[in-house]
């Protein structure tokens, strides 16, 4: 498993724990990351993902909610919800990460940690977010 994938899996675990109320945001780095036996850059990228996701959670959750068809956001499995969250953070706020990489990583992580159909579901939501971002960038370039 590559370093970035490891970071994303760690970020998923941290967000999942925080979502269940097991860890407070301030404790994430101290209690969770410091005890991991991973390279510093793996832990650093994981924390960047978690920090960015939490700091932009309302916008990220709104982006996801607006793209879910015939489903209630609150009924999503916590694993799927948190994969979508960190991947949406990457799509919306991290121009340094190629969009196809973000989507593919999220799909592969979903296949490993969620149900058999999770990859397709994650792909559909993230693809819609990607399309909306592309449209907004084109509108901005055209002065709309």
pLDDT for position 30: 64
* Homologous superfamily of domain range 3-141: NusB-like (1.10.940.10)
Sequence length of the chain is 144
- The first and second tokens of residue 83, run together, are 């994969």
Cα 66–101–77 angle (5° rounding)? Answer: 45
Interval 56-104: pLDDT, tens: 999 999 999 999 988 889 899 999 999 999 999 999 999 999 999 999 9
CB atoms within 10 A of CB 99: 17
- Round to whole Å and give the CA distance between 52 and 15: 11
pLDDT for position 134: 77
Please report where in the chains the tokens 């650093």 appear, as a residue.
44
The structure's pTM equals: 0.88
């Amino acid at each position: 498993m590559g370093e970035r994938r490891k970071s994303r899996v760690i970020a998923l675990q941290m967000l999942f724990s925080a979502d269940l109320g097991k860890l407070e945001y301030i404790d994430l780095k101290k209690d969770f990351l410091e005890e991991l036996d991973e390279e510093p850059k793996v832990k650093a990228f994981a924390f960047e993902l978690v920090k960015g996701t939490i700091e932009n959670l309302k916008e990220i959750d709104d982006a996801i909610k607006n793209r879910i068809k015939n489903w209630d956001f609150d009924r999503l499995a916590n694993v799927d919800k948190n994969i979508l969250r960190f991947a949406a953070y990457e799509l919306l706020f991290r121009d340094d990460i190629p969009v196809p990489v973000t989507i593919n990583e999220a799909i592969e992580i979903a296949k490993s940690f969620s149900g058999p159909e999770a990859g397709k579901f994650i792909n559909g939501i993230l693809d819609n977010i990607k399309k909306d971002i592309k449209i907004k960038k084109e509108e901005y370039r055209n002065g709309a």
